[in-house]
Structure 1
Amino acid sequence: MKHTNLGRSGLVVGRLGLGTMNFGPHTPEPEAHTIMSLALDKGVNLFDTANIYGARMGEGVTEQIIGNWIARVPARRDRIVLTTKVYGMMGRTPNSGRLSAFHIKRACEESLRRLRTDHIDLFQVHHVDRTTPWEETWQALDLLVTQGKVTYVGTSNFAGWHLARAQEHARQCGTPGPVSEQSVYNLLERTVELEVLPACRAYGIGLLPYSPLHGGLLGGPVRRGVAVGRTAEPAAGKRLKRHHERITAYEKWCADLGTPPAQVALAWLLHQPGVTAPILGPRVAGQLEEGLAALKVALSSSQLKELDALFPGPGGPAPEAYAW
């Protein structure tokens, strides 16, 4: 496993992280425990989850699965960088979600209980909250850091200007500010290159791309003749139909290279400046092993240009991407 610092922080994480969104709804607990143990044995130390994962509102099923895994061998806790998220609705009462100080405090306590730990290494706000002042949100997060319940704070699904606002407010308060941003980023979805990725690089915020295979579209579905990702979702089939020509060409390009499509997609992300660790979301152990093999894939500058031609980005950072 290759390692790097998470943004400007001193925290060291592996170049690939383990995402756990499938644990519970699609991956039974025993298999989830097998995947986590394998990930740890392979040197993966960034374990990413969220309080809403698990498909049953308010129960935090995925966090419970992780907590049970930690409880079986408590020494594992010190070997992983444990992350979770806050924002989503955890109940049907008015204050059961979003980023009010009221909800953040309660959500943190509940996540700690489910994860069976006394602190969260990276506590991420899962989305922007357009109804709560950032000053209130940051005060609540900073208090959790002061109390020792949270070590680092991160963001997810923030726009570039949200990151700038968050960082500048933290600076005014004399605190470090967010050290990571988790955004969707892959060969098919490159919008973050306009402003999010430049903001991350400017502020020393580590980018943790999620959905690196775009729901399975970049994992070789055409050649395997299988449906995509969580295949019960009609949207997956529609996406494949919309991108079928490009995906077919991509899979041929990967075949000529002699590297599985999923590994190429992950390797491409690892070659992007500012990317800290793409988040893998395996349903079975074999998918984790295949993803980790991407660490050995080196893409030349000419190969990167060929992928850019196949999957054009927005044209670089703003404003040059659309203006002079």
Structure 2
Amino acid sequence: MVASAPAEMETNPSLLTADEGLYTELGRSGLRVSRLALGTVNFGGRVDEPQAHRLMDHALGRGLNFVDTANTYGWRVYKGHTEEVVGRWLRGSPTRRGQVVLATKVGDQMGGGPNDEGLSARNIVAACEASLRRLRTDWIDVYQMHHVDRRVGWDEIWQAMELLVAQGKVCYVGSSNFAGWNISSAQETARHRGFFGLVSEQCVYNLVTRHAELEVIPAARAHGVGVFAWSPLHGGLLSGVLHKLLHNSAVKSAQGRAVQALEVHRRAVTEYERLCADVGLDPAVVGMAWALAQPGLSGLVIGPRVESHVDGAITALGTRLPPHVLARLEELFPPVGRGGQAPDAWLS
């Protein structure tokens, strides 16, 4: 990372000491969450438990109160492992649970039985009980559907969620990886039932993958649903992958979607890293700062492995990219179609 930014680049990491800079209401709710959610997908297999606890301590100490996990995380060890790691951390302090907004997910396959996955009422309720045990808590702040289950109707899903809310085991319900019409369908059914419905959506969104601009983000805004972007650096592609590969320091950016995308976007990524060097900022900071500046985005889910990754995201939160940098980013990574939301994006 470059030590200092040019004078024209507005950076203010001290925003994290200002309430209005760090926190936002989650969708139309009154729940205040940090705009950086600590994602735990790397806990177990990439980050061991002591380091995971240090990361959560560091993030909470810097003001990040939003911790996001899922019942299947930790699969490199065994499914459910990450929730157990988070649960032991929560129990390590008598005040920690009250400081944290805790989110987890349901829907992915957890066992070999035919009812051990999906969004049936049975699995939603059973999976919630299992997550509560692993997390060592009495309630989940945001219980998220990990994916759409096209086999199950919304009345059944909301019946189960209403039960969990009435029992005090869940405060809010969120979604992840939904299409725009899934969000609208869910909300209309909830409205007819007199239920609050979705409070948040997590979707993949970054400079490379901008499909959410077409319908997901507009639908979420229309229904008062907060949006958090996961993989804001496209698996490390936007974190300075070429520089890291050159110096043999790539970890996550040397595998998965980042490697596949690099073959397609190498020219743009080369120019992107050159632009970041010109403005004196780490590429990861630029990528996250761009995402945080987009309309309708509540915040980012970050997946740090070391404390410096948390600090880099905090720097991004306090960085305002000037117009000429934003314009150049649009040239390098253009939006889908003509840009904007559907259907205007593809009208000739």
In structure 1, runs of 5+ residues without a counterpart are none
What is the aligned-residue identity percentage? 51
Instruction: Give, in angstroms, the shift of residue 241 of structure 1.
Output: 2.2
Structure 1, 52-61 or 245-254: larger mean CA deviation: 52-61
- Counterparts of 1:43 and 1:235, CA distance in 2: 30
2:253 is the alignment partner of 1:253: no
Aligned to 2:222: 202
Counterpart contact for 1:101–1:140, Cα < 8 Å? yes
Aligned to 1:156: 176
- Counterparts of 1:301 and 1:171, CA distance in 2: 40
- Counterparts of 2:54 and 2:213, CA distance in 1: 35
2:156 is the alignment partner of 1:132: no
Query: Which segments of structure 1 move beyond 6 Å, counting only runs of 4 or more?
Result: none
- Counterparts of 2:77 and 2:158, CA distance in 1: 25
Which among 295, 306, 323 is matched to residue 273 of structure 1?
295
What amino acid is aligned across from residue 96 of structure 1 in structure 2? D
Aligned to 1:8: 28
Aligned to 1:294: 316
Aligned to 2:45: 25
Instruction: Give, in angstroms, the shift of residue 229 of structure 1.
Output: 5.0
Change (3 A) 1:298 1:233: closer
Aligned to 2:239: 219
Counterpart contact for 2:237–2:259, Cα < 8 Å? no
Aligned to 2:346: 322
* Cα deviation digits, residues 262-295 of structure 1 (max 9, x gap): 0111111111111111011011222111221111
TM-score (norm 2): 0.90
Structure 1, 240-249 or 229-238: larger mean CA deviation: 229-238
* Cα deviation digits, residues 122-150 of structure 1 (max 9, x gap): 00000000111121111111111111000
Instruction: Give, in angstroms, the shift of residue 57 of structure 1.
Output: 8.1
Change (3 A) 1:189 1:276: same
Counterpart contact for 2:142–2:172, Cα < 8 Å? yes
- Counterparts of 1:34 and 1:308, CA distance in 2: 37
* Cα deviation digits, residues 82-141 of structure 1 (max 9, x gap): 000000100001000010001000100000000000000000000000111121111111
- Counterparts of 1:65 and 1:3, CA distance in 2: 25
Counterpart contact for 1:57–1:90, Cα < 8 Å? no
What is the Cα-based RMSD across aligned positions, in Å? 1.5
- Counterparts of 1:271 and 1:220, CA distance in 2: 20
- Counterparts of 2:77 and 2:145, CA distance in 1: 18
Which among 130, 153, 163 is matched to residue 143 of structure 1?
163
Which among 260, 263, 284 is matched to residue 262 of structure 1?
284
What amino acid is aligned across from residue 276 of structure 1 in structure 2? S
Q: Secondary structure at the match of 1:26?
A: coil
In structure 2, runs of 5+ residues without a counterpart are 1-15, 17-21
What amino acid is aligned across from residue 319 of structure 1 in structure 2? P
- Counterparts of 2:288 and 2:43, CA distance in 1: 21
TM-score (norm 1): 0.96
Aligned to 2:62: 42
- Counterparts of 1:297 and 1:46, CA distance in 2: 20
Structure 1, 50-59 or 223-232: larger mean CA deviation: 223-232
